[in-house]
Amino acid sequence: MHEEMSREVLARVVREHAGRLAASLVSLLGDFSAAEDLVQDAVETALRRWPVEGVPERPDAWLSTVARRRGLDVLRRESNYRAKLARLTWPAPAAPDDRLRLIFTCCHPALSRAAQIALTLRVVCGLSTTQIAAAFVVPESTVAQRITRAKRKIGEAGIPYRVPPQEELPERLGEVLAVIYLLFNEGYLSSTAEQAQARDLVDDAEWLASLLANLVPKDPEVAGLLALIRLHRARGGARFDADGRLVLLADQDRSLWDRRAIEDATALLTRAARVHRRPGPYQLQAAIVACHAEAETFADTDWAQILVLYDMLLHLTPSPVTRLHRAIAVRYARGVEAALAELKELGDALERYPLFHATQAELLRGLGRREEARRADERALELIANPAQQALLEQRLAWD
Amino acid sequence: MKYVLMFVETEQFAKELEAMGELEQRAAYEAVGRWFAENADKITHHTHLAPVHTATTVRLGQGEPVVTDGPFVEGKEVVSGFAEVEVADLDEALKLARSWPACPIVEIRPVS
């Protein structure tokens, strides 16, 4: 007797326990790949059985038992592993949260970005290969192969299972943050009003960022990324109209924004900024989004402040795409002509970037140069290959 | 674990080295010597190769072996030396490679 379980509940329970089990099994067996196989197996069993039988009272114990039993079965020839697994009992002795080691191993710079992402989703968040493939719209075999190769590399190239020493920490954290940021973008930009995916990457990205914030509480960029994700999500309710179409920022019904969540995320950002005087790129991006989120109406937007933040961001991470976004702020702070002048310098770098042409079209139309605007729009549409990219374009046009 | 660090030279690097004055060149060689000395406890073996214009390649398999002048891949990047190191894991090998003071590319491979 159980109610039908929502996908979110299932995802949440798995997410909470799969990574912990993986972390403790890697420690126990000393073999990343073997441990990961056992957890994946247990997770797949859970995804099959829990929707039918209900979530067990102790999901962690359940997963652990399945993994152990499976391990004793498949690792028959590895007597060393068998002996270790035989000692695995539940409840496990209170161990420190080992998931940080797991995260750093999955996001090791010796792995490709695509492998880091797939591995983190599977090992830390407990997604199945099928779920990852569905989320990224790639064949399952591609994901499976990527994960198999990454696991082999971890074992054969000697990628360690540990938290990097202090002097390497900033750089290595940067890798982890990049993975979470990409995950978030993928989920956020490709999402539609009727979410058809089995699992929402945005949930996983926020969960990962918040896990990392708990494990590395002193890093301001971790807090910055978490705030950035939460600020975006707090405005999620206004992103789509009743027909599921994207609504541009200027046209959004701001009463649908979650003010409480915006305040919380802004407070998180302020706390991080107070301790460390020099904000990094994630904090700056979050601050830009906070500026938008705090404006009561579109007309109240503090464009001058947004410009300052973009300048700081460009100073840290120069990029033509960021300059394009800045040009949109220039339009409201200094006028259309000034924005168009900024765009002129970006033409070479962004010739193949649809948003560049779409923005140019907007600006030209603002000046009444209709014919040129139409040509720019056409160029933008030429460059958009598929509906997902079209959604991305519209999203970017929403200036956030 | 045992790893081999492969030191890879680029055309650009070779030119820079050539353009250096004698003092600068000596300083560059000394930096390499210091790197080997400082990491002597981890380096089990190392070799510096003669310049690439001395290379000869033999291709086997299809009939008679074919001998050609030059390296096995013609390119702007050529292997100029090897060091075999014994360290705990890839991170330690990476740390060594990062501190390498000479040519701009280092490939790391575990020894199987």
The domain ranges of chain A are 1-95, 97-158+166-190, 319-400
Question: Tens of pLDDT along A88-111?
Answer: 766 665 566 789 999 999 999 999
**A110 reaches B (C-beta below 8 A):** yes
pLDDT in tens, chain B (112 residues): 999 999 999 989 989 988 999 999 999 999 999 999 999 999 999 999 998 889 999 999 888 899 999 898 878 899 999 999 999 999 999 999 999 999 999 999 999 8
CA distances from A319 to A21, A315, A329, A379 (A): 40, 9, 16, 22
Name every chain B residue with its beta carbon within 8 A of the beta carbon of A158. Answer: 1, 3, 88-90, 93, 110
Q: Find the CB nearest B110 among A157, A160, A164.
A: A157
One-letter amino acid of A317: T
At residue A192, the pLDDT reads: 47
Percentage of chain A surpassing pLDDT 70? 90
B89/A158 Cβ within 8 A? yes
Q: Which residue has the higher pLDDT, A149 or A382?
A: A149
User: Over 70: is that where the pLDDT of A197 sits?
Assistant: no
The domain that holds B27 is classified in CATH as 3.30.70.1060
At residue A222, the pLDDT reads: 95
Nearest of A248, A236, A234 to residue A294 by alpha carbon: A234
Question: Tens of pLDDT along A11-29?
Answer: 889 998 999 999 989 988 8
At residue A193, the pLDDT reads: 40
User: Over 60: is that where the pLDDT of A191 sits?
Assistant: no
The answer to whether A131 and A11 are in contact (CB under 8 A) is no
Nearest of A341, A300, A335 to residue A323 by alpha carbon: A341
Strand partners, B82: B6, B47
B110/A110 Cβ within 8 A? no
**A171 reaches B (C-beta below 8 A):** no
At residue A394, the pLDDT reads: 57
A160/B89 Cβ within 8 A? yes
At residue A8, the pLDDT reads: 79
- Domain holding B104, by residue range, is 2-110
Question: Tens of pLDDT along A352-396?
Answer: 888 899 899 989 988 999 889 888 888 887 877 555 556 555 554
Question: Which CATH code is given to the segment(s) A319-400?
Answer: 1.25.40.10
Cβ neighbourhood burial of B82 (10 Å; 0-12, 13-18, 19+): middle
Q: Do domains A97-158+166-190 and A319-400 have the same CATH topology?
A: no
Question: Tens of pLDDT along A33-91?
Answer: 999 999 999 999 999 999 899 899 999 999 999 998 888 887 776 777 777 777 776 66
Class level of CATH domain A97-158+166-190: mainly alpha
Structural domains of chain B, count: 1
Question: Tens of pLDDT along A313-362?
Answer: 999 999 999 999 999 999 999 999 999 999 999 988 898 888 899 899 98
Q: Token pair 């070479």 is at which residue? A: A348
At residue A399, the pLDDT reads: 41
Name every chain A residue with its beta carbon within 8 A of the beta carbon of B110. Answer: 156-158
A164/B89 Cβ within 8 A? no
